[in-house]
Chains A and B, each alone.
Chain A
Amino acid sequence: MIAIFRRELKAYFFSPLGYVFIGFFLLLSGYFFSVSNILRATVNMAVFFSNLSLVFLFLIPILTMRLISEEIKNRTDQLLFTSPVSLTGIVLGKYLAALSMLLITLVITGIYTIFLNIFSDPPMGEIITGYIGFFLLGASFISVGIFISSLTENQIIAAVASFSVLIILWFINWIIPYASNPMFVKVLEWFSMLKRFEVFNMGILSLNNIVYFVSFIITFVFLTIRVLEKRRWS
């Protein structure tokens, strides 16, 4: 698993993919930080995080599209599946590599909080909670992305499909105001990732939201493993 993780992480920097992801993410986060924090002269990073969560929709599929589809297309899966490595090890190695890219990028954006600390006295607890929620949201999106990447051998299709699915997950939040059935509203609110992310963004660290995201991630990673298993048996 560690060998696969390291290869995968390196592969992001062998191709333009890693640079594109980090570069564009930092460009947009810089823009949002300037607009929502510097120009407004506020230490509240909630607006920054909600704006940036939109960027995830576009950039996470880029991070995940090639993870498994490329292996199948180049037949390198034959090397992995005939090596003494478990499917779980392969999928986890890849997932953690994408997750590390996200983490690296988020750590770089930590510079903004240093600025805030120099010029003011920001509520660090709230900001860190926001970061945790933001990271869990990104981690969930990655698990969707790796799952879709296992379904096709075409990277473009993987990227477009992941993007569409993430948009649909986003839509759930937009449907809520139009739903009349209170039961339906409840279900949608329970399922909506954004609603749960906003709770973190308000500075509330609640266990059930963490459990929600973690179980979401485990479900999709598990599904990815099952898809690969099924592909071999069919």
Chain B
Amino acid sequence: MIEIKNLTKKYGNHVAVDNISFTVEKGEILGFLGPNGAGKSTTMNIITGYLPSTEGTVTIDGYDILEQPFEAKKRIGYLPEQPPLYMEMTVAEYLDFVMKIKKVKQKGKSHIDDIMSLVQIGDVKNRLIKNLSKGYRQRVGLAQALIGNPEVLILDEPTVGLDPKQIIDIRNVIKDLGKEHTIILSSHILPEVSAICERVIIINKGKIAAIDTPENLSQALTNERKLIVRVAGEEKQVMKCIQELEGVRNVEVQGQEEPDAIDYIIESEPGIDIRKPLFYVLSKNQFPILMLKPLTLSLEEIFLQLITSEKEVINSDSNI
């Protein structure tokens, strides 16, 4: 549905986007993660045809964004970082204008009403946009992107400025839309991306640092299986029991959260599930397990790890 090949954008000598390639399948929700200035918005601006690329191509449903801009743009709904709103218009007037410039002929008024109820802005439809709060403006911006029911939605930080309840509502809206639309969404809120997206691209300094499902990303980076276990009992004895188990590589004390119980982090050999033997050995020695859960890296940690590891490479280069 969306095909991006060797995309590069230079501003003079500054390379904002550096040779990025990826494809997004129909009906997929792709997350775009990266620190500020990583090139997320630039990439989105190129995909939507707002900026031309220096090199490389963007194809939407077979139409090149620069060669056949009208056909490609008809298929895209775009919510930029700052919603493109005309402050002196009312919400209804604005959406009507968007419908006209997007040359949407279908349905007319009921189409706008449907979208307004979907993003819950029906109650402000006759108010001037300049008098709306940030959350409402953001939702009007989202409504604008949905006009004409485009096959591809490009959303640049869609939940910025919303309150927690609205964030959950909008996430559900996006998830629902993802059933019929192809969506690229950028965010700096990592749980959001892992909650909504089927695939994540982590972008740093204009380059793709990683591209995978949120689960695979967590697993790939946690090479060894780690467990966190809370056991009641005397520290040294418990340690000894665990260390003697087959397949345990390392045990560390993480700390104490409850009285009389200590949290341990157990690292096992790859391919060995030590949960059952662990249970038997501890119960035999009458050390009750109060908690046992696998320790996977959250997206936050993966994100930091990817970005900092790249930094270290650069630092070590400059030291030489």
Given B52, B84, B97, which contacts A232 in the complex, CB threshold below 8 Å? B52
Contact of B85 among A15, A74, A77, A85 (CB under 8 A): A74
State whether B82 touches A85 (Cβ < 8 A). no
The answer to whether A85 and B101 touch (CB under 8 A), given A14-B89, A233-B52, is: yes
The answer to whether the Cβ of B69 comes within 8 Å of any Cβ in the partner chain is yes
Q: Mark A76-87, 1 if CB is under 8 A from B, else 0.
A: 111111111100
In this complex, the member of B76, B86, B89 whose beta carbon has the largest number of chain A beta carbons within 10 angstroms is B86
CB of B87 within 8 A of chain A?
A: yes
Interface bracket on B? 20 to 34
**Complex formed: what's the CA distance from A85 to B73 in Å?**
9
* Among candidates B48, B49, B87, residue contacting A74 with C-beta atoms closer than 8 Å: B87
Does B88 lie at the interface of the complex (its beta carbon under 8 Å from any beta carbon of A)? Answer: yes
Query: B51 in the interface, Cβ–Cβ < 8 Å?
Result: yes
- The distance in angstroms between the C-alpha atoms of A172 and B103, with both chains bound, is 45
B80 within 8 A of partner (CB): yes
A11 to B87, Cβ gap below 8 A? no
In the complex with contacts A84-B74, A84-B103, A11-B88 CB distance below 8 A = yes
Q: Which residues of B contact A15 (CB under 8 A)?
A: 88
Instruction: Find the A residue at minimum CB distance from B86.
Output: A76
Q: Does B111 contact A (CB under 8 A)?
A: no
Q: Determine the distance from Cα of A78 to Cα of B78 in the docked complex, in whole angstroms.
A: 9
Give Cα distance in the complex from A78 to B76, angstroms. 13
- Do B49 and A81 have beta carbons less than 8 Å apart? yes
Complex Cα distance, B74 from A232, in Å, reads 20
Partner of B98, one of A2, A11, A79, A81: A79
Residue A128 lies at the interface, judged by CB distance under 8 Å to chain B? no
Chain A residues whose C-beta falls within 8 Å of the C-beta of B86 in the assembled complex: 7, 11, 74, 76
Q: Is A207 an interface residue (CB 8 A)?
A: no
- Which of B69, B84, B144 is in CB contact (< 8 Å) with A84? B69
B50 close to A (CB within 8 Å): yes
Residue B249, interface by CB 8 Å: no
On chain A, the residues within 8 Å of B144 by CB distance are 79
Taking a contact as CB atoms under 8 Å apart, the answer to whether B50 and A82 are in contact is yes
What residues on B are CB-neighbors of A108 within 8 Å?
Answer: none
CB closest chain-A residue, reference B102: A83
- By a CB distance below 8 angstroms, the chain A residues around B87 are 74
> Is A4 part of the contact surface with B, judged by Cβ < 8 Å?
yes
Which B95-129 residues have a C-beta within 8 angstroms of A? 97-98, 100-103
CB pair A76 B85 closer than 8 Å: yes
Chain A residue with Cβ nearest B73: A84
Residue of A2, A11, A75, A78 with most chain B CB atoms under a 10 A cut-off: A78
| Given known A-B contacts A78-B78, A232-B51, A233-B52, A83 and B101 have beta carbons under 8 A apart | yes
Q: Count chain A CB atoms within 10 A of each CB in B11, B51, B103, B144 and give the residue with the most.
A: B51
Is there a chain B Cβ closer than 8 Å to A3's Cβ?
Answer: yes
When distances are taken between beta carbons in the complex, the residues of chain B under 8 Å from A81 are 49-50
Is B279 interfacial (CB 8 A cutoff)?
Answer: no
Residues of B within 8 A of A2 (CB): 100
The answer to whether A80 touches B101 (Cβ under 8 A) is: yes
Task: Please give, as numbers and ranges, the residues of chain A lying within 8 Å of B11 by CB-CB distance.
Answer: 234
Whether the pair A14, B88 counts as a contact (CB closer than 8 A) is yes
Q: A82 CA to B48 CA in the complex, in Å? A: 6
Chain B nearest CB from A191 CB (Å) reads 36
A75-B49 in contact given A4-B101, A14-B89, A15-B88 (Cβ < 8 Å): no
Closest CB of chain B to A95's CB: distance in Å?
17
A75–B84 contact, CB under 8 A? yes
A78:B73 contact, CB within 8 angstroms: no
**Mask: chain A, 1-45; 1 = CB below 8 Å from B; 0 = not:** 011100100010011000000000000000000000000000000
Cross-chain contact B78 with A82 (CB below 8 angstroms): yes
Measured CA separation A80–B100 after assembly (Å): 11
List, in ascending order, chain B residues with CB within 8 A of A14's CB.
88-89
Taking a contact as CB atoms under 8 Å apart, the answer to whether A82 and B85 are in contact is no
* 8 Å CB contact of B84 from A11, A74, A234: A74
Quote the shortest CB–CB distance from B12 to chain A (angstroms): 9
| Bound complex: CA A2 to CA B78 (Å) | 22
Known contacts being A232-B52, A233-B52, is A82 close to B97, with CB within 8 Å? no
Q: B22: which A residues are within 8 A, CB to CB?
A: none
A156 to B246, CA, bound (A): 77
Within 8 A of B (CB), among A40-97: 74-85
Q: Contact at A75–B82, with CB atoms within 8 Å? A: yes
* Bound CA span A85–B74, Å: 10
A82 CB contacts on chain B under 8 angstroms: 48-50, 73, 76, 78
Give 8 A-B contacts (CB < 8 Å), ordered by A residue. Answer: A7-B86, A78-B78, A78-B80, A78-B82, A82-B48, A84-B73, A232-B50, A232-B52
Question: Which residues on A are within 8 Å of B, measured CB to CB?
Answer: 2-4, 7, 11, 14-15, 74-85, 232-234
Q: Which residues of B contact A (CB under 8 A)?
A: 11, 45, 48-52, 69-71, 73-74, 76, 78, 80, 82, 84-89, 97-98, 100-103, 144
The 3 lowest CB-CB distance pairs between A and B, nearest first, are A3-B100, A79-B84, A14-B88
